[in-house]
Structure 1
Amino acid sequence: MLPDAARTVLADVRSGRFERSLAALTAVGAAVTTGEIYLSHDAASFGNKMMYWPIVILPAAVPAGVAAVFSRRAARTVLPLASAAIVANGLQGTYLHWRGVRQRPGGVTLYNLESGPPVFAPLLASVVGGMGLLATVLRREGRPPQGDPPRGDG
């Protein structure tokens, strides 16, 4: 038998009411992903100036995600902007990483895929942005904090 809190969470997820939770996960995911990207790009000595872009763009989702937890308005304005920028930057990074592999001697080989820039890592950053975009279209769970206007979807 599940406790009442767990039943409430499951009911919220089943009914598409987990905007606040997904906004919080977006903030945490952006922070962790930024750290990982920084360490990877620092190991490569930030050899290309474009390597700084995700270090600047991804952290924007941290305050946007936190704000979206507390404010319905932030969930509809700031979070989708930050999330869309992250998705775009992840797609750009995927292109740049594939280009980096192709430019290595021998081109796209198994060895170059294993030792070159990680070609799928930027897509993982895009997933964080995608979570933020998904949060913006979901219904809000729980009671809205004071000051938030009620919305028609309950």
Structure 2
Amino acid sequence: MTVARHRGLARRALTDVRTGRFERSLSAVTAAGAAITAAEIYLSHDGASFGNKMMWWPVMVVPTAIPAGIAAVFSARAARTVLPLTSAAIVVNGLQGTYLHWRGIAQRPGGWTRYNMEAGPPMFAPLLASLVGGMGLVAAVLRREKYFRS
């Protein structure tokens, strides 16, 4: 591709973002983010031996955004129905996880000490999972952009 063509594609992408036509791209990013986040959650919770049965919830909920995000890339209907449902479930589960992590820190000997905040359950990790759900919710309300043609 020529430099002028690259500039044209970049200009088109910027216009799509500015005008709210970013649904397909953000749906794809949601699916990718969910895959990475689900893997991280599984490894972290497995390292803690799934000591609390609630640790299985994000392992089951977050991956639902992977097929939903992929479907939303190809289907406007999926972007309006399935993606917002799975994304809302992830946001709610992330908020629940934040409560549970903070409660876990508070229950450690000494309570809210710097050591417990660093060595206990990660304080903000569930909120990062909620961001994946938030991206899916934003994607669901944006207008669809057209595919770039090469």
Please indicate, yes or no, whether the TM-score normalized by the shorter chain is above 0.5: yes
2:78 is aligned to 74
Aligned partner of residue 3 in structure 1, secondary structure: helix
Shift of 1:7: 1.2
Structure 2 Cα separation of the partners of residues 110 and 121 of structure 1: 17
TM-score normalised over the length of structure 1:
0.91
Shift of 1:6: 1.2
Give the counterpart of 1:60 among 45, 52, 64.
64
Structure 2 Cα separation of the partners of residues 35 and 117 of structure 1: 17
TM-score normalised over the length of structure 2:
0.93
1:32 is aligned to 36
CA-to-partner distance for each residue in 1:43-90, whole Å, 9 max, x for gaps?
A: 100000000000000000000000000000000000000000000000
1:147 is aligned to none
Runs of 4+ in 1 over 3 A off after TM superposition: none
Give the counterpart of 1:4 among 1, 8, 31.
8
Query: Where does structure 2 lack aligned partners over 5 or more consecutive residues?
Result: none
Aligned partner of residue 46 in structure 1, secondary structure: coil
1:83 is aligned to 87
Aligned ranges for residues 45-124 of structure 1 at < 5 Å? 45-124=49-128
* Matched length: 143
Aligned ranges for residues 119-138 of structure 1 at < 5 Å? 119-138=123-142
Shift of 1:3: 2.0
Structure 2 Cα separation of the partners of residues 115 and 77 of structure 1: 40
Query: Where does structure 1 lack aligned partners over 5 or more consecutive residues?
Result: 144-154
CA-to-partner distance for each residue in 1:76-118, whole Å, 9 max, x for gaps?
A: 0000000000000000000000000000000011000000000
1:42 correspondence with 2:49: no
Structure 2 Cα separation of the partners of residues 10 and 80 of structure 1: 24
Kindly report the root-mean-square deviation, in angstroms, between the aligned alpha carbons of the 2 structures.
0.9
Is the helix fraction higher in 1 or 2?
A: 2
Structure 2 Cα separation of the partners of residues 81 and 10 of structure 1: 28
